[in-house]
């Protein structure tokens, strides 16, 4: 066997690995903005929007993402559940929450502004997709 065989195989493995590592992903919106209010959130950004809990986002985003499909007369139910607030930060007067799910390829972004003692919020669901 050629003594350079190992070097050739190693080079091919490195080349294939670099193609895998070069994949790029982005988040694309998969819903229209869903709007709703979260009550009893005074001074949303002065006191930190991290006080908003997952359960409070349900009136805005719902409790899960419905990915059900149909095949003929049969409906195949599939749901992705909201599990946690993965980040919360204020940008000026807007509180931005990232809501994580039980599927790493899906999340929701929630933007809230003060509306009296409530937070007026908008939720958009995103899916992670591979981009060329």
Q: What pLDDT digit, counting tens, does each position of 9-55 carry?
A: 444 445 455 555 678 888 888 888 999 999 998 899 888 788 899 99
Residue 7 has pLDDT above 80, yes or no: no
64, 62, 63, 121: which is closest to 97 by C-alpha? 121
Instruction: State the pLDDT at residue 46.
Output: 86
Q: How confident is the model over 61-97, as pLDDT tens digits?
A: 998 888 888 888 888 888 999 999 999 999 999 999 9
Q: Which of 129, 71, 128, 59 is nearest to 100 (CA)?
A: 128
Domain boundaries, the chain: 23-131
pLDDT digits (tens, 9 = 90+) for 88-126: 999 999 999 999 999 999 999 999 999 999 999 999 999
Short-list 32, 35, 54, 26, CA closest to 127: 26
């Amino acid at each position: 066997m050629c003594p350079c065989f190992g070097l050739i195989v190693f080079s091919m493995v490195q080349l294939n690995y670099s193609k895998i590592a070069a994949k790029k992903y982005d988040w694309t919106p998969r819903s229209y903005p869903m709007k709703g209010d979260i009550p009893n959130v005074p001074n949303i950004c002065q006191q930190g929007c991290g006080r908003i809990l997952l359960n409070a986002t349900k009136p805005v985003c719902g409790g899960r993402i419905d990915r059900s499909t149909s095949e003929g007369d049969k409906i195949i139910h599939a749901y992705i559940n909201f599990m946690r607030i993965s980040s919360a930060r204020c940008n000026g007067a807007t509180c931005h929450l990232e809501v994580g799910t039980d599927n790493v390829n899906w999340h929701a972004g929630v933007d809230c502004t003060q509306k009296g003692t409530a937070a007026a919020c908008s939720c958009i669901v995103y899916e992670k997709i591979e981009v060329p």
